[in-house]
Structure 1
Amino acid sequence: MIKLASTFNPVLLSGTSLAYTGSFAQSLFWESVDQLWYVCQRRPTTGGDMDRILISRLTADGVLVDSMTIGRAGHGANIGVERTDGKIFLWTDAMPFENWARSVARIPYTPGGTADASDPATVAIHHPRTDVYRVSATIDPIRRHLIYRWQSNNSSAPGAVGGFDRYALDAAAQGTFTRLESVAYSATNQSLQGYASLGEHLYQLHGSFDADNMRLTCTHWTTGKILQSEPLSTFGSLPRREPEGLCVFESSPGDAHPTLAFGVANELTDGTTRLNVARLPHPGTNPWVDVPYDTAVYTPNSANYVPQFRLAGDQVHLHFSMSRNDGNPWANGEALFQLPLRARPNRTQRLLGVVGGGGVDADTMAVRFEVTTDGHVLVYDERPLTSWIGADVSFWRC
């Protein structure tokens, strides 16, 4: 079970633009193999039955890769991304009814493509339950379970009544829905903004537009008991914001300590929208990742000293050693490279590294570095250092 209480949640995306900036994101999903975000937003067109959703694919750092339009869908309240035999399939709303949906569809992802979520001749439409409303689905990527939400009444969040079911994903993809477990969803005064399943627990994200009431809950699948309910304050300073989306987050495939990521959409003064995503803290050490640097200016001492970082829970390990190509002294405050958002501290970190002995003439070989909140790694030394500099250091994100 993931501990939901946290005073600081590391930011993964900040102020990211989707393929369309005229509407809020509704849901999100992290696909750890390709390291891509799938973000769903509504694109209302000519009427309720023609509502469509737009799926944006983003890199880990929020760069738009491509998108796909899905017509005759519902609200896009949640999305599931299935990877099978190297192919990607989306589980989305289908058969729209009053801007929501009464079925779910399994649709191959096609970059730049379109699909009709309610056309059984082109996509697989599924009805795990009949006579239900406002349905949606997501996936537990660890257990390969399909999670299906439904309502027995066509009511908005305060009066919604229904539940969550989970099914074996591979069987569901073939049209076989044998219910493994269910959790009831009773009427509350909270607006559900996303849900995710990880192992034996169902997590739900609640909150309202521009209100300080964002909250995460954890429910045990077998007993239906709520085990945790914690407020979230991340992105609370953003104006015109709304919590949108919850998903499982693995730093890499097979991550021994997966956690949860949650989204908050906001609107700027010019009317355009942005997406912000943070994750809950977690333990666990992840692989080394290369950091881009200016090869015209710097040369690593060898292939073993290329700038790299890795995450160990909420600690960042940093490793590099390199020289200036022109042989000139290092400038005091010179920026060497920039770490990606997921490896940046929440406040400037001071670190101690080393300089090659040939450049200091028997003086101390220590040199100081700083990692700023925008991820820049800076060197500080008033001496005219001309030798290589490097460090094997670590710092905390939070």
Structure 2
Amino acid sequence: MIRLDSAVTPTLLSGATLASQGSVAQSFFWESFDQYWYVCQRDITPADQDRLLVSRLTADGVLVDSMHIERAGHGANIGVERTGGAVFLWTDALPSGGWATGLARIPWQKDATVDASDTTAPASVVTFHRPRTTGAYRVSATIDPNRRQLIYRWQSNDIKSEEGVGGIDRYDLDAVVAGTYTPLATMPFTASGRTLQGYASLGDHLYTYYGKPDKEPGAVTTLTCSDWATGRVVQDVTITAFASLSDREPEGLCVYENSPGDPQATLAFGFSGGSSGARTFQAARYPHPGNGTWTEVPFNTAAFVPNSASYKPQYRLSGDQVFLHFSLDQIDGKAWASTQQLFQLPLRARPNRTQRLVGVVSGAYVTGQPLTVRLEVTADGWVTLYDDRGFKGWIGADVSFWIC
């Protein structure tokens, strides 16, 4: 279970530009194999037709491409499935009154348009799924990537989420794809009085995200954790991240993994910001309380060589900290230069402000001075040397720093 009382919420995206700046994000999903964000918006146009626009972003929030899903619904939640080399979206489908009555499974096709109500379309374009064929309104879905389960929310009354009554089901994802809809568990819910802005499942727990735009009276953003086995709420906390945003509105919740099946998986939650016509998207994550595995970091092998295989640049996440381990020498044997960049950490391991570190050097061509060196890790992840002595030899570090 992810502890939601942590004061540390490292920023993952800030001011990201989506394929349209005319509407807020509704939901999002992190696909850890390719390291892409999929962000779903309602594409508001005069001929809207319940159309959704899904933007695909790099880990750093750079827009790669997008896809239109026509006659879909509200986009309250979205799931992304990776099977083999293919990626599939799980989105709203077959809308009634602007809200989905079914689900569409759609192969990702950049810059394409797919009709999520065209039941005559071939399976290579879209397939439809209705796990509950009767008495289910305002349906939506996401995916628990660690357990490869489809998480399906439905209401028994066609009314806003504050007053909604219904349930959230868990299904084996591959069974659903094959057309078998046998719930593994159902968590019922009653009227909460809160506006649902997203939900995600991670292992034994379901997380629900509530809130309204800051400009609305009584706006409070909260995140709740419930036990799948008992349905009991075990955590319910207030989210204060991105407090300075204009038109701040909570939007979207998903599982955040470093890589597929990551035992250190945690949660990412989103906020929209900016005025109409200039909308942006931002996301933060909760830290995981445990220790991650040591992960190698790419470096310029034409310029640097490690002391040995065990001294290749590596990092490890441990709760709110990043641990760094490396020892490198220059292949050309030249002296080290101040402000020289060694390697760049991935987004998930970067600080949100520059961190100063103390490293060690071999001491070649350095006499009468301490064999230490100053390193800095910049906010964009570059591990950078700051030393004017012009020494030669290896430089190393076994250090840690807060990422908050």
TM-score (norm 1): 0.89
Amino acid at match of 2:399: V
5+ residue gaps, structure 1, are: none
Paired with 1:104 and 1:344, the residues of 2 have a C-alpha distance of: 37
| TM alignment of 1:31-46, pairs within 5 A | 31-46=31-46
Q: Deviations over 1:2-47 (max 9, x none)?
A: 2111101122222211222222111111122222222111113344
The DSSP-based 3-state class of the residue aligned with 1:357 is coil
Identity, % of aligned positions: 55
Amino acid at match of 1:393: V
The DSSP-based 3-state class of the residue aligned with 1:238 is coil
Give the conservation status (yes or no) of the 8 Å contact 1:159–1:188.
yes
Provide the residue aligned with 2:348 in structure 1: 342
- For residue 159 of structure 2, the aligned residue among 138, 155, 159 is 155
Give the conservation status (yes or no) of the 8 Å contact 1:289–1:310.
no
Q: CA deviation at 1:374?
A: 4.4
Provide the residue aligned with 1:103 in structure 2: 102
Paired with 2:28 and 2:4, the residues of 1 have a C-alpha distance of: 19
Q: State yes or no: 1:120 paired with 2:119.
A: yes
Q: Deviations over 1:82-108 (max 9, x none)?
A: 222332221110112222211111112
- For residue 317 of structure 2, the aligned residue among 291, 299, 311 is 311
Q: Deviations over 1:311-335 (max 9, x none)?
A: 334322333524496946623x555
Give the conservation status (yes or no) of the 8 Å contact 1:324–1:388.
no
- For residue 229 of structure 1, the aligned residue among 232, 236, 257 is 236
Paired with 1:391 and 1:64, the residues of 2 have a C-alpha distance of: 35
Q: CA deviation at 1:382?
A: 4.7
Q: Deviations over 1:111-144 (max 9, x none)?
A: 2222111111222222222233211111111222
Cα distance change on mapping 1:329 and 1:2 into 2, 3 Å: closer
State the number of aligned residues: 393
Give the conservation status (yes or no) of the 8 Å contact 1:255–1:286.
no
Q: State yes or no: 1:145 paired with 2:144.
A: no
Provide the residue aligned with 2:15 in structure 1: 15
5+ residue gaps, structure 2, are: none
Paired with 1:248 and 1:82, the residues of 2 have a C-alpha distance of: 13
Amino acid at match of 2:119: P
Q: CA deviation at 1:362?
A: 4.3
Q: Deviations over 1:141-176 (max 9, x none)?
A: 122221111122222232222221222211111222
Q: CA deviation at 1:301?
A: 5.2
Amino acid at match of 1:124: T
Paired with 1:345 and 1:261, the residues of 2 have a C-alpha distance of: 17
The DSSP-based 3-state class of the residue aligned with 2:270 is strand
Give the conservation status (yes or no) of the 8 Å contact 2:71–2:93.
yes
Amino acid at match of 2:185: E
Paired with 2:86 and 2:159, the residues of 1 have a C-alpha distance of: 36
Q: State yes or no: 1:204 paired with 2:208.
A: yes
Cα distance change on mapping 1:102 and 1:321 into 2, 3 Å: same
- For residue 358 of structure 1, the aligned residue among 330, 342, 364 is 364
Amino acid at match of 2:195: S
Q: CA deviation at 1:358?
A: 2.1
Paired with 1:143 and 1:247, the residues of 2 have a C-alpha distance of: 14
Paired with 1:382 and 1:31, the residues of 2 have a C-alpha distance of: 43
Provide the residue aligned with 1:279 in structure 2: 285
Q: State yes or no: 1:394 paired with 2:391.
A: no
Deviates more, 1:149-158 or 1:387-396: 387-396
